[in-house]
Amino acid sequence: MERTIREFLDIVHEEIKDIVAVSVQDNPSYHTIRKVSVKLRFLLVEGNLQKAWKIVGFQKEPQILVHPLLAGKGDHLKDGVISIGGGARISGIQIMGIHIHHRALSDEEIKANYEREKTIINALPVPIGLRAFLDGTPLKIGNYKPMTRRQIIKYVANKLGGVHFDEKDRDQNVELLRQQIRVLEQEPIYFEVLTYAQQIAESPDIKRLLEKIEELLPGC
């Protein structure tokens, strides 16, 4: 194996291990989550997880485990509603599928929401491909276009100090959401990134990749 390939796999292995370490923390700080956004950007957004997956001999793409509520593109999300996919666990508490409405819901609307979600709320996680994972849209703010996981990772890494701190060119809707809402004491956008770290760390394919790299690079 070429030296540069060995170096690359060693780096991917280390980045994944760092994400796993954050995923098991009881209540990581937003600074910790901000830093893990850089690792998620390197692995997911920049395509290095997929590259390593292919280098070690696996086919197609890794599958990421997500709850069925979070597996799609959020096509059911309505305008005028703040929707936060979530799913992270903090201090033993897990919250997902958050919907914040600008008005009180009618009894019929409450029942419709309940009926839609009751059959899957206790369902086990399902695997989705890495590309579908990144293109999923767990965050929608009012009437604006939903944000993909890819966009959320890049926002924290590129705007909020993960890699760059950009105070001028920010999404004002995201910034308003950051000011007004907390999920288990975390800003929603950090809560989302923590969710992705936990989903990556707990996916069997990612564990398979770690084991394969360790097999190819003993002692890494």
Domain count, the chain: 1
Report which of 18, 48, 45 is spatially closest to residue 33, judged by C-alpha positions. Answer: 18
Per-residue pLDDT, 164: 93
Q: Residue 147's CB: how many other CB atoms inside 10 A? A: 22
CA-to-CA distance for 23 and 36, rounded, in angstroms? 10
Q: Tell me, what amino acid is at 48?
A: N
Full pLDDT tens readout for the chain, 220 residues: 899 999 999 999 999 999 999 999 999 999 999 999 999 999 999 999 999 999 999 999 999 999 988 887 655 556 568 999 999 999 999 999 888 888 888 999 888 878 877 777 788 899 999 999 999 999 999 888 899 999 999 999 999 999 999 998 899 999 999 999 999 999 999 999 999 999 999 999 999 999 999 999 998 7
Angle between helix axes 149-159 and 188-201 (nearest 10 degrees) is: 120
Residue whose tokens read 């009751």: 118
In the prediction, which pLDDT does 119 show? Answer: 77
Nearest Cα to Cα of residue 154 among 126, 132, 176, 174? 174
Rounded Cα gap, residues 86 and 186, in angstroms:
11
The residue written with tokens 């305008």 in the block is 79
Written as one letter, the residue type at 53 is W
Its domain, for residue 162, covers 3-216
Residue type, 185: E
**For residues 168 and 183, what is the distance between their CA atoms, to the nearest angstrom?**
26
The pLDDT score that the predictor gives to residue 15 is 98
Nearest residue to 109 via CA among 81, 73, 145, 70: 81
Query: Among all chains, which residue has been given the structure tokens 């060119």?
Result: 169
Please state, in angstroms and rounded to a whole number, the distance separating the CA atoms of residues 125 and 205.
14
